[in-house]
Amino acid sequence: MVAASPSGSTPEGYVAGTTTDFSLIKHGESYPQRDFFNSEADYPLYYGGVGIGKTRALVVDFFDYAGRCPGSRQIITEPTWGMVRDVLVPTIEDCYGPQEGVGFSMTRQPPIDVRFPNGSEIWLRSTDVRPERVLGSNVARVGMDEITLGHQEQSFDYLAGRLRQEGFFHQVKCTGTPKGRNWVWKRFIDAPMPGVHVYFAETADNPKLPPNYMQRMLATYGGWDNPLARQELAGQWLQMTGQVFPQFSRAIHVRETDVAWKTLKNRLGGIDFGGVSPTALIACGLDSGDRARAYAEWYKRQATLDETMSAMAHFQVEWGVEKWIADPSGKKEIDLLRKAGFKVSPAKHGNRIMLRVQILGARLNVHPAAKLPGMYISPYCHNLIMEIETLTWKPDVDVDQFERGAPDHAVDALTNVLTEYDGVRAARKGLTEPVLVYGDY
């Protein structure tokens, strides 16, 4: 597909006049909005922060196709009727307002249909009705704006199956802002379906936004430390519903160790053994106020026991780790490590998920009186921070199961050490609910 050119030979019924310049929105060295516009993949997805020109890209794309392909039927959807009225129609007016009545006509009451003199049509619909009610007959192309909102998987499947208008090029183009690891993440990002092609931009990549827009949005979302800001403005697929550690905040818990590790007491290393999944080591100690300080991390996929041992030796020599607390289910590994001369004990949480969550959760809680958390994490522990931030409960099952695929290796390694500091006390408290208690720090 070629970019709409506002000048030159315009076929009859062709709508021009948009000031849209698709080589405007740039991410790194690429032009994701333009590439999405030009994409001929079966399922292109343009995603990222708010205001990256998603709706505009769809509108210009679909008008362009309508002009070039006489007699084509297309559909653009929004998740709700309100968004058709408040987002889609105004975007069309923005781009093509002056052409209405000449280059196309548009009804103003539902069903809203756009008709072109060359016989092409674009239907504007919402997906909050039963999928089969969205469509009357087969169409050439479908554009779904904001597919991550609401429950649109069924509509997507239904519409993708109705691309049957004969003699036309077929495609479903989607846009969205990440909303956790939902079906869109699974089918477009994690394990992409055949034909998927993704294009990504951040809010800050659009130079056409009003001045100060970014700063204002960032302030609204509480700064980059707030996961919501990273989702809405930087387009990250964070999981935020059912977060296991909602009290975690980079602003509160992540700090450069302001005390040297040498001054920490009770320096222990936590181990979580991975087979195919990563093996994690975390070094942790207690400062003079008895706050835990996670100060070093090692994280490796498919690590052999030899590699793990050399990392452990390094932690002992360079970072003064005195003793290791390992995943209790790794009996064989613990044996081998002991034979190699390492001081290793199994963690005493018996792998009970609630106990582990309580132990780390209590340390993360900010004590209401002292206004300080029970632990800090060094910014160098990247994986640990990422895991704490993204670990979620599996929805729709008993609460004590983590979401499948959410990594928790560094979290487990750290929790092994914390159990050594706090385990008995937490077990004695007989806690049953996750992270509702404050630690005594």
Ligand X SMILES: Nc1ncnc2c1ncn2[C@@H]1O[C@H](COP(=O)(O)OP(=O)(O)O)[C@@H](O)[C@H]1O
Binding site for Mg ion (CB under 5 A): 54-55
Q: Write down the least CB distance from residue 241 to Mg ion, Å.
A: 22
Shortest distance (Å) from residue 230 CB to Mg ion: 19
Least CB distance to ligand X at residue 213 (A): 9
Interacting residues of 347 by C-beta distance below 8 A, sequence separation 6+: 270, 325, 326, 327, 328, 415, 416, 419, 420, 423
Per-residue binding letters, 21-60, with ligand X (x by CB under 6 A) = xx-xx-------x----------------xxxxxxx----
Q: What x/- string results for residues 272 through 311 when contact with ligand X is judged by CB under 6 A? A: ----------------------------------------
* C-alpha–C-alpha distance, residues 155 and 175, integer Å: 14
Question: Which residue has 């975390």 as its token pair?
Answer: 282
**Nearest distance in Å: CB 177, Mg ion:** 9
Minimum CB–partner distance for residue 212 and ligand X (Å): 14
Tell me the residue length of the chain: 441
Between 33 and 39, CB nearer to ligand X: 33
Minimum Å gap between C-beta 379 and ligand X is 31
Place of tokens 């408290």: 429
The residue (of 50 and 286) whose beta carbon lies closer to ligand X is: 50
Dihedral (CA of 22, 25, 27, 33) sign: negative
Site string (72-111) toward ligand X, x via CB under 6 A: ----------------------x-----------------
Quick one: 83 or 114, whose CB is closer to Mg ion? 83
89 binds, among Mg ion, ligand X, none (CB under 5 to 8 A by kind): none
Q: Which residue sits closest to ligand X, CB atoms considered?
A: 53
Region binding ligand X by CB under 6 A among candidate stretches 17-25, 61-69, 287-295, 375-383: 17-25
CB 278 within 8 A of CB 299: yes
Find the shortest distance in angstroms from Cβ 93 to ligand X: 11
Tell me the number of residues near ligand X by CB under 6 A. 17
What is the distance between the alpha carbons of residues 233 and 51, in angstroms, rounded to a whole number?
A: 8
By beta-carbon proximity to Mg ion, the closer residue of 27 and 54 is 54
* Closest distance to Mg ion from the beta carbon of 140 (Å): 23
Task: Please identify, using beta-carbon distances, which residue of 51 and 285 lies nearer to ligand X.
Answer: 51
DSSP code, position 221: T
Distance between CA atoms of residues 195 and 262, nearest Å: 54
Nearer to ligand X, 73 or 179 (CB): 179
Q: What is the smallest separation between the CB atom of 55 and Mg ion, expressed in angstroms?
A: 3
CA distances 177 to 108, 184, 281, 312, 387, Å, are 27, 10, 34, 41, 21
Which partner, Mg ion, ligand X, none, binds residue 72 by CB below 5 to 8 Å per kind? none
- What does the alpha-carbon distance between residue 224 and residue 228 come to, in Å, rounded to a whole number? 8
Calpha distance 363→422 (Å, rounded) = 9
Q: Beta strands 105-106 and 112-115: pairing type?
A: antiparallel
- Local structure of residue 300 (DSSP, 8 states): E
What is the pattern of x (binds ligand X, CB under 6 A) and - over residues 195-224?
Answer: -----------x-xx---------------
How many degrees, rounded to 5, is the angle at CA 428 between CA 423 and CA 430?
105
Does 20 participate in binding ligand X (rule CB under 6 A)?
A: yes
Q: In this complex, which beta carbon is closest to Mg ion, that of residue 55 or of residue 72?
A: 55
Extended beta strands in 150-262, E state:
171-176, 196-201
Closest to Mg ion by CB, 122 or 280: 122
**Cα gap 153→147, rounded to integer Å:** 8
Dist. CA 65–CA 57, nearest whole Å: 12
Q: What are 253-256's contacts with CB under 8 Å, separation 24+?
A: 253/364, 253/373, 253/375, 253/376, 253/377, 254/376, 254/377, 254/378, 254/379, 254/385, 255/376, 255/377, 255/378, 255/379, 256/378, 256/379
Q: Which is nearer to ligand X, 208 or 332 (CB)?
A: 208
Nearer to ligand X by Cβ, of 109 and 215: the residue is 215
Residues that bind ligand X (CB under 6 A): 20-22, 24-25, 33, 50-56, 94, 206, 208-209
